[in-house]
């Protein structure tokens, strides 16, 4: 098995880390042993202070507490998102096609309402045939779907 993590470019990890922790049921990864904050660790490995978010503690990583999902690193970059994502999350909450469509709609709409309350915006709703999903954007505009 190959060890890997998902890396998401962003301009403000301090906004995206708590947002995606809530969306995915992940937790913020604690700073490495021997360090109080991630910024302390980054400084110890030579990251220049002017590249750190000194307003926070530098927490920019998430992990799945169940151990099933990959670690996620929110890598700060200077440029803002400008194009459609080539990779995105699909968040499954509806129970799938074996669940009656009205029940799926209600489950998706409920989760979408929760995510909008923490900073997501709705892009569009796909309500076609026997499919129901909503395209959302995270606080930096990255697309993801709830189905």
Range from 62-71, 73-82, 121-130 carrying the lowest mean pLDDT: 73-82
Tell which residue, 26, 121, 130, 141, has the closest CA to residue 80: 141
3-state SS string for 58-106:
CCCEEECCCCCCCEEEEEECCCCCCCCCCCCEEECCCCCCCCCHHHHHH
**Whole-number Å distance between alpha carbons of 89 and 92:** 10
Percent of the chain predicted with pLDDT > 70: 99
Q: What's the pLDDT score for residue 43?
A: 93
In this predicted structure, the answer to whether residue 88 has a pLDDT above a threshold of 90 is: yes
Confidence label for 6 from pLDDT (cuts 50, 70 and 90): very high
Rounded alpha-carbon distances, angstroms, from residue 27 to 13, 20, 63, 79, 95: 14, 9, 6, 26, 24
Q: What CATH number should be reported for the domain whose range is 89-146? A: 3.10.180.10
Range from 18-22, 57-61, 84-88, 104-108 carrying the lowest mean pLDDT: 84-88
pLDDT digits (tens, 9 = 90+) for 50-62: 888 766 788 999 9
pLDDT digits (tens, 9 = 90+) for 94-147: 999 999 999 999 999 999 999 999 999 999 999 988 899 999 999 999 999 999
Strand order in the sheet with 61-63: 5-10, 71-76, 61-63, 27-28
CATH 3.10.180.10 in the chain is located at 89-146
């Amino acid at each position: 098995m190959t060890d890997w993590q998902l890396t998401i470019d962003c301009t403000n990890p301090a906004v995206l880390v708590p947002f995606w922790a809530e969306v995915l049921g992940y937790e913020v990864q604690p700073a490495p042993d021997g360090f109080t904050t991630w910024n302390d660790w980054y400084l110890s490995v030579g990251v220049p202070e002017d590249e750190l978010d000194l307003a926070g503690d530098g927490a920019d990583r998430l992990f799945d507490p169940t151990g099933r999902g990959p670690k996620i690193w929110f890598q700060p970059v200077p440029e803002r998102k400008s194009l459609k994502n080539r990779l995105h999350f699909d968040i499954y909450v509806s129970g799938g096609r074996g669940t009656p469509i009205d029940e799926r709609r209600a489950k998706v709409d409920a989760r979408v309402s929760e995510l909008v309350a923490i900073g997501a915006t709705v892009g569009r709703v796909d309500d076609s045939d026997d499919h129901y999903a909503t395209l959302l954007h995270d606080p930096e505009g990255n697309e993801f779907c709830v189905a």
